[in-house]
């Protein structure tokens, strides 16, 4: 990755901004109607992405999906199948 790439990260549950406080500067965070939290934002490089994932797993946050967003699109390139 040379330029920042936008990603969508969906996590289980409606996470509080306090829980995700360290990520608020890099990601827009919204609770969804299906009981998940959707985060979208620019990831600078692979190390940044790894750091975000490590931060979440260290807090026992369950990642439902992780998807790269194409420039100009708000939806993932290949939306993952979501389990009900």
Please name each of the domains of the chain with its CATH number: 5-68 (3.30.70.120)
Band of pLDDT at residue 77, cut at 50, 70 and 90: very low
Band of pLDDT at residue 78, cut at 50, 70 and 90: very low
What pLDDT, on the 0 to 100 scale, is given for residue 35?
Answer: 93
Give the whole-angstrom CA distance, residue 80 versus residue 50. Answer: 20
What pLDDT, on the 0 to 100 scale, is given for residue 36?
Answer: 94
What pLDDT, on the 0 to 100 scale, is given for residue 73?
Answer: 60
Band of pLDDT at residue 3, cut at 50, 70 and 90: confident
Q: pLDDT (tens digit, 9 = 90+) per residue, 5-57?
A: 999 999 999 988 788 888 888 999 999 999 999 999 999 999 999 999 999 99
Give the whole-angstrom CA distance, residue 35 versus residue 52. Answer: 21
């Amino acid at each position: 990755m040379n330029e920042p790439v936008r990603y969508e990260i969906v996590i289980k549950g409606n996470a509080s901004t306090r829980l995700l406080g360290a990520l608020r500067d890099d990601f827009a965070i919204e609770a969804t109607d299906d009981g998940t939290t959707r985060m979208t934002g620019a990831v600078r490089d692979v190390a940044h992405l790894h750091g975000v994932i490590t931060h979440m797993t260290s807090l026992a946050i369950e990642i439902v999906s992780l998807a790269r967003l194409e420039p100009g699109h708000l939806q993932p390139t290949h939306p993952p199948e979501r389990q009900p």
